[in-house]
Structure 1
Amino acid sequence: MPRTAIHSDSAPAAIGPYSQAVRTQATRAGNTVYFSGQIPLDPATGEIVGAGDIDAQARRAFDNLKAVCEAAGGTMDDIVRVGLYLTDLSQFGAVNAVMGEYFSQPYPARSTIEVSALPKGAAFEVDAVMVLG
């Protein structure tokens, strides 16, 4: 199964042994792109955006996801599944409202999980799966 790494300079560079996203053109999977998690890092500085502000963190993470999406040749409307990770599930309502600004119906499938910690002290992370064509 051929795999192609996707990279966008408009999203933070990978900070470990992973790609921002990977596209596969396997017959059974279609033209599928699997996204690594995006946290609210400013791509220019590599610093967390919006410390203590879940709205700002969610927007930055979704902006990063959107940038990688575009680098892969798609749009947010091509995303079929997202995973949301929060360090405080009581902030779900705020994140849910921000997510509604980035996606339109029919919305992607979603899971939401509370975690004890995220990289660089982020309060929010999002990953996704996109199908093109």
Structure 2
Amino acid sequence: MNKQVITSEQAPSAIGPYSQAIKVGNTVYLSGQIPLDPATMEVVEGFEAQVCRVFDNLSAVAEAAGGKLQDIVKLNIFLTDLGNFATVNEIMERYFEKPYPARAAIGVAALPKGVPVEMDGIMVVG
């Protein structure tokens, strides 16, 4: 198996022992992104801005792997408050076109750095 590490300076650097993404063949496994500004490594303020930042971070890593958000075939969204589900849907429609990726929205007790949202995904390129 030939694993290629994918990195982007346009997305936050890893805050633990993991890669931003791993590419195997034409499949890319995107690590979870939280709403960190890659320039400052600080959490952005406001829920809508946080969701946008997560999508922007995922987009940067997708581009570094030779793809784009639309190439994501499976998206996992982790929320500390499922009451924000409708807001996430509305923002997601700004970033994706039909056909939308397969998706899961998972309610969790807590996320790194106390953020309310994290997303990871699987992308197919080429």
**Which interval holds the TM-score relative to the shorter structure?**
over 0.9
Alpha-carbon shift at residue 77 of structure 1 (Å) = 1.3
Runs of 4+ deviating beyond 6 Å: none
Mapping of 1:52-131 within 5 angstroms?
A: 53-131=46-124
1:77-116 CA distances to partner (integer Å, 9 max, x unpaired)?
Answer: 1110100000000011001111111110000000000100
Q: Distance in 2 between matches of 1:68 and 1:111?
A: 20
Q: Which amino acid aligns with 2:24?
A: T
- Kindly, what percent of the aligned residue pairs are identical? 58
Query: Which residue, 24, 28, 32 being the options, matches 1:33?
Result: 28
Correspondence 1:12 to 2:12: yes
Q: Distance in 2 between matches of 1:77 and 1:48?
A: 25
Q: Which TM-score applies when normalising by structure 2?
A: 0.98
User: What SS does the corresponding residue of 2:86 show, helix, strand or coil?
Assistant: helix
Report the aligned-residue RMSD.
0.6
> Is residue 54–residue 95 contact of structure 1 (8 Å, CA) maintained in 2?
no
How many residue pairs were aligned?
126
Unaligned runs of 5+ in 2: none
1:21 is matched with 21
Q: Which amino acid aligns with 1:103?
A: F
2:3 is matched with 3
Q: Distance in 1 between matches of 2:11 and 2:84?
A: 24
Unaligned runs of 5+ in 1: 26-30
Alpha-carbon shift at residue 76 of structure 1 (Å) = 1.1
Alpha-carbon shift at residue 69 of structure 1 (Å) = 0.4
Q: Which TM-score applies when normalising by structure 1?
A: 0.93
Q: Which amino acid aligns with 1:23?
A: K
1:132 is matched with 125
User: What SS does the corresponding residue of 2:85 show, helix, strand or coil?
Assistant: helix
